[in-house]
A and B are shown apart, each in its own frame.
Chain A
Amino acid sequence: MSNKFIVSPSPHVFGKDTTSKLMRDVLIALLPAFVVTVVIYGMQALVLTGVAVVSCVLFEYLIQKFLLKGSNTINDYSAILTGVLLAFNLPIGIPIWMVVLGSLVSIGIAKMSFGGLGRNPFNPALVGRVFLLLSFPVQMTMFDAPDMVRDALYGATDAMSGATPLAYVKDALKNGCSVSEIMPNISYQNMLLGIKSGSFGEIGALALILGFVYLLVRKVITWHIPLFIVGSMTLFTGALWFFNPEQYMDPIFHILTGGVLLGAIFMATDYVTSPMSKRGMMIYGVGIGVITILIRVWGAYPEGISFAILIMNAVVPILNKYVKPARFGVSK
């Protein structure tokens, strides 16, 4: 230990949770979603996830050893988790070298440049994803629907092939279609099971919710952030939908599509980049929900959750400063 004296406010109680144990639990919680992905997309999903994980771990090791010259940190599973989350945020058809580049950005720029785990202000996997999205918009928005999805969803018409439900709806609304004309092409049941096109880890809603339950049971995360994100999205889109159901999609659509569940459960709750107090979490969650809908409904991109989480990541230090947890032993 380089510094023997750890200065922090009371209470000074050590839990038995270690970083690696928490990270391992998150990885286990991601398993159901991973299984769904592999069933639907086949081996390619396995290969891409593998590449992302290996390159994240490798970059972390190399940077720690040769640039920062610090002790090895790859055993805490955090680089593995970053790799898995990054891969889950990519479309299936992406070239391998882009996955490697995304890993380099996630680990090199978003994490190690700030000093490694615990010091990064932004979620590394999301920085990697947004970097790739802005750099290679063509490859990052080509969602090749696997055969199984194509058959189940689109049948004879291929109006939706390749587009995510969000992109399809945004395009259709912009071209003057009304919601009731779009709805026959959309099936909530398929969305729950993961039969839709999208980044490959965000497709199975039920599997992601299963992971959420596991994390809650293991007390790895609390329910606050995911629930406030989903809740604020429901209220916001619900209000829009209530006033004009022909122009705005209903809340269920917004919650089941895109990366909302993956983002709300696994990425917005990242310890390092989310607020510490319950009230902070509330503001943070509502911020993410509202910004996501603003981007989805009025912005240029069909999906906004990754931008929303990154924007709110930037607010976290302010939240931690001004919205402090109640002091131990003090009642209001």
Chain B
Amino acid sequence: MKSSLKNMVLTLLIITLVSSTAVGLVYLITEGPIAEAKGNKTTGALSKVLPEGDITNDPTADKQIVSLDDMEIIVYPARNADGVVGYAVESSTKKGFSGTFKLMVGFNSDMEIVNIEVLQHAETPGLGSKMGDPDNVLLVSFKGKSPANMKLSVKKDGGDVDAITASTITSVAYIDAVKRAYDAVLSLNDGGLK
């Protein structure tokens, strides 16, 4: 076809119109599933870190946002008829080896750590990334204990936490994120004791 100005403008107009309509249609179809997939990610992580037992509320609906050192920490309280049974806390730290990473820390009503999930990180594969493995030394150091009764630093610095071998920076950052999660719950109005 001849490359006259009218032809070119018209062709591009039609192509972009048809394309954007098609993309728009697909967006409408996938909008629901995408939102659902994103929601599933949060609730999946919540169910992994919260204590077992009856939870009658929707923790995502009751979430509270705490701001510590200019970073947002999201606290998801889990309740049943007897009151608060636990908290899941989405905490993050900037002290990682490769920048920010995000953890989901679960506490029970005694503020003991139930479980910790790594939500997002960019740590070195095979080194810092081990903090996401099931039963890694960091997780084991924290599981079932309350940060209130622990010295929150790595063993090398006289603390109670086993560091991942050759990944001290990641380990220190992990501890930092857990500590911030704990502080965030304590800073809530009910003091995290109910």
Contacts and interface: CB of A to CB of B under 8 A. Distances in A.
* A, B from the same assembly: yes
Interface in B39-70: none
A175 B172 CA distance: 10
B127 A137 contact: yes
A294 interface: no
Contact of B169 (A137, A138, A141, A174): A174
Contact of B127 (A138, A142, A171, A174): A138
Interface string A126-149: 000000000001100110000000
Interface in B145-194: 157, 165-166, 168-169, 172
Interface of A: 137-138, 141-142, 171, 174-175, 300
5 contacts: A137-B124, A137-B166, A138-B127, A142-B166, A300-B97
How many chain B residues sit at the interface, stated as a range, is 10 to 19
**Which of A138, A141, A174, A300 gathers most chain B CB within 10 Å?**
A138
A175 B169 CA distance: 10
B32 interface: no
Given A138-B165, A142-B165, A174-B169, 4 more contacts: A137-B127, A175-B157, A175-B172, A300-B97
A300 to B, nearest CB: 7
Contacts of A174: 169
Nearest to B153: A175
Contacts of A175: 157, 172
A138 B157 contact: no
A320 to B, nearest CB: 35
Contacts of B172: 175
B134 interface: no
A91 to B, nearest CB: 12
B98 to A, nearest CB: 8
B33 interface: no
Contacts of B124: 137
Contacts of A141: 166
A137 B169 CA distance: 14
B144 to A, nearest CB: 27
Nearest to B130: A138
B172 to A, nearest CB: 8
Nearest to A135: B126
Contacts of B166: 137-138, 141-142
A157 to B, nearest CB: 11
Contacts of A300: 97
Contacts of B165: 138, 142
B158 to A, nearest CB: 10
B126 A137 contact: yes
Nearest to B127: A137
A175 B168 CA distance: 11
B126 A171 contact: no
B154 to A, nearest CB: 10
B97 A171 contact: no
Contacts of A142: 165-166
Interface in B102-158: 124, 126-127, 157
Contacts of A171: 168
Contacts of A138: 127, 165-166
**Which of A137, A141, A174 gathers most chain B CB within 10 Å?**
A137
Q: What are the 9 A-B residue pairs with the smallest beta carbon separation, nearest first?
A: A138-B166, A138-B165, A141-B166, A137-B127, A137-B166, A171-B168, A300-B97, A142-B166, A138-B127
A321 B165 CA distance: 45
A164 to B, nearest CB: 13
Nearest to B166: A138
A174 B97 CA distance: 12
A270 B55 CA distance: 69
Contacts of B126: 137
A272 B126 CA distance: 34
Nearest to A162: B156
Interface string B15-35: 000000000000000000000
Contacts of B127: 137-138
